[in-house]
Structure 1
Amino acid sequence: MEQFKHVGVTGRHGRSEVADTLRRLVTFLESRDVTIVLDSRITDMIPNHCHPICVRDALGEHCDLVIVVGGDGSLLGAARALVDFGIPVIGVNHGRLGFLTDICPSELETLLSEVLDGQYLEENRFLLEVEVERNGQIIDEGCALNDVVLHPGRSTRIIEFELFIDGQFVYKQRSDGIIIATPTGSTAYALSGGGPIMHPALDAIVLVPMFPHMLTNRPLVISGNSEVRLVICEVDHIDPQISCDGQIHLLGHPNDSITIRKKARQLKSLHPEHHDFYDACRSKLRWNHQEHCR
């Protein structure tokens, strides 16, 4: 396993408990004699430091590992910014669920010592890229680790759109929108919409209708290599939004075509050696905590 010598540090800005953990993390990394590079947005939370600073989007140019302190939202933002650099990311959880940031602050020094010594699990997580096409021109684009969502924005009206998968017409739907999620995102918004939980190792995409007019429109799991295209129908008199991880919002218009496909570069996600997806499900989703039979 790779041992890391240049470590980037980023996290959620503005929370006192995050600041405390960031300071502990920097002190720990200093004791490990690694080069520390700080995200410029968090430097005011770590006073009197003497480490190099750069914007988050450039951490991948200077580091061989990035540690994110915050919730899953913080890691989602870091993932989109760093995926093209091919460097691994690991999270220290200061959020609610923490499916992606799975190191507890109380175990920070112990578990990160193991990671820096090369004792960790590595997973490749794919992202989705989205393009919005209008009158034959790409007018906006984005990417998402969890999900791409077509929704009405501030309007309370339903959307009518057509769905194509790999060029084949699937259906025309009237609904509040649709969630297109990766296995990583299957435990996020898609789960609350009634979608299935997918193991992170699956090469699949799930499409979850949001309050469809026809109750026979159910979640649909397709190949991870499929290309999904949504066409907003002309009858709509609203400008729906296309959200990436709930953090990037693209504006659509009637007759726009929205194409979603797997991004070529994948995210390297690190976990402690004892990480277990099903254990995470039990603890985060409050599944039965009783001991198993054998």
Structure 2
Amino acid sequence: MTAPHPSNPSSCRDCQFPPQTIALIGKYQSREIAESLSLLAKNLHDRGVGVLVEEATASLSETGVEPHIWTRCGYAEIGARADAAIVLGGDGTMLNAARHLARHRVPLVGVNQGRLGFMTDIARADMLTCVDDLLAGKFTAESRMLLSGEIVRDGRVVASNLALNEVVVDKGAIGRLIDFDLYVDGEFLYNLRSDGVIVSTPTGSTAYSLAANGPILHPQVTGIALVPLCPHSLTNRPVLVGDRNAIEIRIVRADDSRVHFDGQVTFDMKPGDAMRIRRSEDSVCFLHPPGYSYFAMLREKLHWSRQPTTR
């Protein structure tokens, strides 16, 4: 296996090849996912690999997987036992799995059965062929940074979570602009009235941040993008800061403000609350199949110009 990027050498655990135990994680209540999961579980079992199935995934009513070939378990047990995890679904399924398994440094492989699939880069049709390459140690490991965020209210932390894509502070359900101050390493950057602000990792730069006219950041860029959402002042533009900078968003005025982690975990905020964000000590390890190219993925997913023909 190719070594992870040297800027964060501990982010991908030393993988055992061939892996002795692989976890399967899928989108809930999906017939198509259940079929793929059944096929993968049987294929891995027949090749002598131990199979773990995440407990919510295992609750699918139509998995079709014989109970004797896999073990149902939670994320903590997957973290302790799995040499790698295969995630079946779209980017949302990968985001959820990544937040749960980041502290355990379990390498993640994505089989795309969603729509875009920026993080799940293996097509379902190539799934079993890619398993051959995975078991042969031909995949490349890549580290992706996470954000750690906490809400501070009256001097104490009232909520916290991780994000692989982005942390978003926004106007909530009421729909009125919020007023907040933004600080970087304790230094005041600006006050803004807007729908909110996106704090994005390089991985998240092709997600919500991209839709808000934020920059696309290569995964090897060690930076964090601050992207205003519909700012009242037209001079406010995205700002890129270092991955070691501490970011703080203080709510000044808001009828209903909220913070979202990867669009999946949400907490309410109040005037006076501070959202503190920094790079997490944990990272996510992605395993990419032979021939993977980040730029080729961008061309395909964003429908950019065709690659020039070589003459």
Task: Indicate whether the TM-score tops 0.5.
Answer: yes
Cα displacement string for residues 232-257 of structure 1 (whole angstroms, at most 9, x for unaligned residues): 00x33x13110000000011100001
Match of 1:161 in 2: 180
- For 1:63 and 1:41, how far apart are their aligned partners in 2? 17
- For 1:136 and 1:219, how far apart are their aligned partners in 2? 29
- Give 1:169's aligned amino acid: F
1:252 aligns with 2:279: no
Shift of the alpha carbon at 1:187? 0.2
- For 1:58 and 1:136, how far apart are their aligned partners in 2? 35
Match of 1:176 in 2: 195
- Count matched residues: 292
Is the 8 Å Cα contact of residues 10 and 56 (structure 1) preserved in structure 2? Answer: no
1:266 aligns with 2:263: no
Match of 2:5 in 1: none
TM-score, normalization: structure 1? 0.97
- The DSSP-based 3-state class of the residue aligned with 2:169 is strand
1:242 aligns with 2:259: yes
Is the 8 Å Cα contact of residues 173 and 256 (structure 2) preserved in structure 1? Answer: no
Shift of the alpha carbon at 1:211? 0.3
- For 2:251 and 2:76, how far apart are their aligned partners in 1? 32
Moved more, 177-186 or 282-291: 282-291
| Counterpart mapping for 1:1-294 below 5 A | 1=1, 2=15, 3=17, 4-43=19-58, 44=60, 45-47=62-64, 48-50=66-68, 51-233=70-252, 235-236=253-254, 238-292=255-309
- For 1:164 and 1:292, how far apart are their aligned partners in 2? 48
- For 2:81 and 2:215, how far apart are their aligned partners in 1? 38
Match of 2:8 in 1: none
- For 1:216 and 1:193, how far apart are their aligned partners in 2? 15
- The DSSP-based 3-state class of the residue aligned with 1:143 is strand
- Give 1:22's aligned amino acid: L
Q: Which runs of 5+ in 2 are unaligned?
A: 2-14
- Give 2:279's aligned amino acid: K
- The DSSP-based 3-state class of the residue aligned with 1:226 is coil
- Give 2:114's aligned amino acid: G
- The DSSP-based 3-state class of the residue aligned with 2:216 is coil
- For 1:57 and 1:154, how far apart are their aligned partners in 2? 34
- For 2:85 and 2:225, how far apart are their aligned partners in 1? 29
Is the 8 Å Cα contact of residues 38 and 63 (structure 2) preserved in structure 1? Answer: yes
- For 1:107 and 1:186, how far apart are their aligned partners in 2? 27
Shift of the alpha carbon at 1:32? 2.0
Shift of the alpha carbon at 1:289? 1.8
Q: Structure 2 vs 1, CA of residues 221 and 52 (structure 1 numbering), >3 Å: closer, same or farther?
A: same
- The DSSP-based 3-state class of the residue aligned with 2:193 is strand
Q: Which runs of 5+ in 1 are unaligned?
A: none
- For 2:303 and 2:76, how far apart are their aligned partners in 1? 35
Shift of the alpha carbon at 1:39? 0.9
- For 1:166 and 1:123, how far apart are their aligned partners in 2? 28
Cα displacement string for residues 72-116 of structure 1 (whole angstroms, at most 9, x for unaligned residues): 000000000000001101110011110100010100011121011
TM-align CA RMSD: 1.2
Shift of the alpha carbon at 1:290? 4.5
TM-score, normalization: structure 2? 0.91
Cα displacement string for residues 168-191 of structure 1 (whole angstroms, at most 9, x for unaligned residues): 100000000000000000000000
Shift of the alpha carbon at 1:31? 2.4
- For 2:25 and 2:75, how far apart are their aligned partners in 1? 7
- For 2:130 and 2:207, how far apart are their aligned partners in 1? 25
